[in-house]
Structure 1
Amino acid sequence: MIERLLVCGIGSGMDHSLPELRSPRRELVVVTDRPTAQARAAADTLLVCDPTDATAVLAELAAAGIDRLDGVLSLGSDNPPVISVLAHRFGCPGLPLETALDCTLKDRRLAILREAGLDLPRFATAESVAEALRAVAEVGLPAVIKPSDQTGSLGVLKVCSDAEVRRAAAEALRLSPVGRIVVEEFLEGTEHTLAAFMVDGELHRFGFADREYGRKEEFAPYFFEGGDTLPSRLTPEQIEEVTDTVRHGARALRLDPAVINTDILRTRDGRVVPLEITCRLTGARIATEVMRLATGVDPLPNVVRLALGRPLELSELRPTRDRAVVQRFLPADGGVVEWAGDPRDVARRAGVHDVFWGMEVAPGTVLPPYRGGADVLAGVIAYAGELAEAEAVAERTLRALPLRLKAPAQ
């Protein structure tokens, strides 16, 4: 029988991996609110709706006459609760909804990890500006304010004064569907992404990258993440410390069986602090292209096996090469596009895996001021034998983008 696999939600750039999910023995159903040419070409059935809205997805599936699924997954999209709802509705393997909510809602995740004894920032929750001011008095300044129920960096702001708290709390509350925010102690250090599978209580790491935060506060109070770097600058012992923390946190959150994405902070004095541990594939092309270019490990076949309830092939998680790879982003920060060419012309340079626009770029496009991770103008994935060389290739490529901007008319 032909198996039917649903991909519900495609993270930024992750449509590049959709063709790899095709198989003569598989029908690929894709749900996305961004129906790119790659998604249309790869999908046997393409449904256009919000992949973070379970009701809308179920309605579209019903309208398409789809009453059977064998597996459900997202491709780097931060919607674990929807994946859980769909898996339960169609009798597919998947985590319980409460577990998906525990690792998605920031306040619930923090409470569970604190109860499990992990090292966390001081934090408190708030449902009004007045409560946010009281929370900051408890947590201390500087602090970070986040909507509890939003994904990525949307509404994540650093505050250094009560006046900033009022403005940031009001914005974060506006962005939170349930009207709840988290106030966290601001900690400094290096941040890292660990990608893994958790099955039968065992964590199987298949990727580890450093997050690039050299320009982190350039657009304060918003944070700018400049990309990812492999291999990590941490020592093997430090990487194992991070891995132990993730294993402890994933068990506390009951993420088993699951594919796991993380954001881990290592402070200047050696604390290992989990900022995020959740049950989804690492997005933004990191797990599927950046890590794979560096190590040779392709997680997608095992992601599919997990979604279909089959055993992992652990041999596929062993690195087969050691290459320096970086992904770097160029932030949008205002201006009007006067002229834009094809970035693929730049990609023909040695060491460039891909260079791409992060948003629609055409003459007359008004670029937004930078407000978070969605405001990426362009990006590049570059590789080389040594890290410094890969970073230089990425920098030269972004400088050579075929783009000319002008100031907006007054």
Structure 2
Amino acid sequence: MHVLMIECNPNGMAGIANALELGHDVTLISVDPDFYLAISPLTAGTYAHPNCTVVKSEAAFDIDELVALAREIDAENHVHGVTTYSEYHTVHTAAVASALGLPGMSVDGARNARHKHRTRLALDGVEGIRQPRFRAVSDPSEVESAVREIGFPCVAKPSDGTASLHVLHLKDEDDLRDYLTELEGVADYGRGVIRVPEIVIEQFVPGELISVESCVLANGEIVNLGLTDRPLSGFPHFIEMGATYFTGHPLQDELFATTTKVLKELGVDFGFIHTEFLLGPEGPVLCEVNGRLIGGIVPSLMQITSGVDAYLEVIRQALGEQPELPFPGETTAGGHWFGAPIDGVVESIEFDLDGQPGFHSALAYKKPGTTVSRLSKSNFDWIGHVIFTGADRAEVNKRCEAALDHVDLRMRLDVAR
């Protein structure tokens, strides 16, 4: 069968590689295919596979042109399923699937999940769904008045951001002034992804960040699979520093029930979904909804504990098959990311983890000679991770944190910067 992938993400190359191994044809549409070559070690082999076609297109983020391109590809080699692992391209994927008459999320549902201001407005006042007080504005000149209305401390975020990029905790006037200055220079997110103008200002809700991983089956049934904890770095930025995929949280039933209600209200009606909550003083508060499989290392954690390759199941579901679902098993899996303490050039990253209890794997993302930024602003600052297993998330998190002392990162200052 022929799978059309609308962009990807670096870890998602594993899904494409597995689909190729099963004998499927895969066409990847990307504005910058070389981006994946620089980040994922699987990319070169994937691109070289005889059943893999890479289409470089500057139109990958323009829905009308993308649909026209997809129709051309379908005419040459009939497309059986269309999907993505990219947060930036969930609406585009829904539009292409609809145009080709293939399984996929409704376009309105994809938009409601993709754009945070639409999520907030659609759920405003819905009984049983807690949201922070918020203001959604479309003109940067309105941000200041929105902040005044919500009050300090608050959180500012672009409506269509991802990976915590340009999401900031604002505590005072200085933070607000700096944020407005930063936004003036952000017209896009790179790789052809144009930023929408809407910005959401929200009441700051203290509490643990946790997400519900779900799958909406073709018949509309919502299956909540498990939970992912998300320890964060300190303010003002919200960088995710770890993740554990597990089951059994004291608030699990409430989180699952709220997620089901959220997805139904938004019209999110197909595929693997990632819904984030803050565990505030009064209970779970909706943070955001992502209309795609969770990113980072979590699909690998899912496979470790369940034996199910979630990347591949995304593709199988797009092809009209019933996906196998990665419920957490008896063994809990988790990982921690790490970054550089300074701006500089990586000389080496080495791990001394063999023999550590529960050690599963470790990976450095940056090669020697690579210039990196200090871990400070978003998940894009990660330069590696460690993964461990254990009896429960407390044990896994303890093992991951201890493992960071066994990462030998050597750098030199980049005097040019």
TM-score, reference length from structure 2: 0.84
CA contact (8 A) 1:325 1:383 kept: yes
Aligned to 1:28: 26
Aligned to 1:228: 243
**How many Å apart are 1:336 and its aligned residue?**
2.0
1:277 equivalent among 283, 289, 306? 289
Task: Tell me which amino acid in the other structure corresponds to 1:87.
Answer: A
- Please state whether the residue corresponding to 1:22 is helix, strand or coil: helix
Aligned to 1:252: 265
Aligned to 2:359: 352
**Kindly tell me: are residues 337 and 284 of structure 1, through their superposed partners in 2, closer, same or farther at Cα, counting changes over 3 Å?**
same
Aligned to 2:157: 146
**Kindly tell me: are residues 173 and 322 of structure 1, through their superposed partners in 2, closer, same or farther at Cα, counting changes over 3 Å?**
farther
**Kindly tell me: are residues 300 and 405 of structure 1, through their superposed partners in 2, closer, same or farther at Cα, counting changes over 3 Å?**
closer
**How many Å apart are 1:27 and its aligned residue?**
0.9
**How many Å apart are 1:290 and its aligned residue?**
0.9
**How many Å apart are 1:171 and its aligned residue?**
2.4
Aligned to 2:90: 80
1:197 equivalenced with 2:215 (yes/no): yes
CA contact (8 A) 1:129 1:170 kept: no
Aligned to 1:183: 201
**Kindly tell me: are residues 394 and 369 of structure 1, through their superposed partners in 2, closer, same or farther at Cα, counting changes over 3 Å?**
closer
**How many Å apart are 1:285 and its aligned residue?**
2.9
Aligned to 1:266: 279
Aligned to 1:102: 112
Q: Give, in whole Å, the separation in 1 of the partners of 2:346 and 2:109.
A: 48
CA contact (8 A) 1:212 1:229 kept: no
**Kindly tell me: are residues 111 and 364 of structure 1, through their superposed partners in 2, closer, same or farther at Cα, counting changes over 3 Å?**
closer
Task: Tell me which amino acid in the other structure corresponds to 2:244.
Answer: T
**How many Å apart are 1:292 and its aligned residue?**
2.5
**Kindly tell me: are residues 146 and 347 of structure 1, through their superposed partners in 2, closer, same or farther at Cα, counting changes over 3 Å?**
farther
- Please state whether the residue corresponding to 1:175 is helix, strand or coil: coil
- Please state whether the residue corresponding to 1:13 is helix, strand or coil: helix
1:212 equivalent among 231, 237, 241? 231
1:37-52 map, 5 Å: 37-42=41-46, 44-49=52-57, 52=61
2:387 equivalent among 381, 385, 402? 381
Same amino acid, percent of matched pairs: 23
- Please state whether the residue corresponding to 2:383 is helix, strand or coil: strand
**How many Å apart are 1:146 and its aligned residue?**
0.7
1:307 equivalenced with 2:313 (yes/no): no
Aligned to 2:377: 371
TM-score, reference length from structure 1: 0.85
**How many Å apart are 1:6 and its aligned residue?**
1.5
- Please state whether the residue corresponding to 2:407 is helix, strand or coil: coil
Q: Give, in whole Å, the separation in 1 of the partners of 2:373 and 2:87.
A: 24
**Kindly tell me: are residues 305 and 106 of structure 1, through their superposed partners in 2, closer, same or farther at Cα, counting changes over 3 Å?**
same
**How many Å apart are 1:278 and its aligned residue?**
2.9
Instruction: Give unpaired runs (5+ residues) of structure 1.
Output: none
**Kindly tell me: are residues 135 and 149 of structure 1, through their superposed partners in 2, closer, same or farther at Cα, counting changes over 3 Å?**
same
Deviations 1:262-317 (A, max 9, x none): 11111133x2211112321111131x21123233344345423431234x25xx43
Aligned to 2:331: 323
**How many Å apart are 1:334 and its aligned residue?**
2.5
**Kindly tell me: are residues 291 and 88 of structure 1, through their superposed partners in 2, closer, same or farther at Cα, counting changes over 3 Å?**
same
Aligned to 2:190: none
Instruction: Give unpaired runs (5+ residues) of structure 2.
Output: 188-194
CA contact (8 A) 1:4 1:71 kept: yes
CA contact (8 A) 2:3 2:26 kept: yes
**How many Å apart are 1:16 and its aligned residue?**
2.9
Q: Give, in whole Å, the separation in 1 of the partners of 2:238 and 2:224.
A: 27
**Kindly tell me: are residues 318 and 13 of structure 1, through their superposed partners in 2, closer, same or farther at Cα, counting changes over 3 Å?**
closer
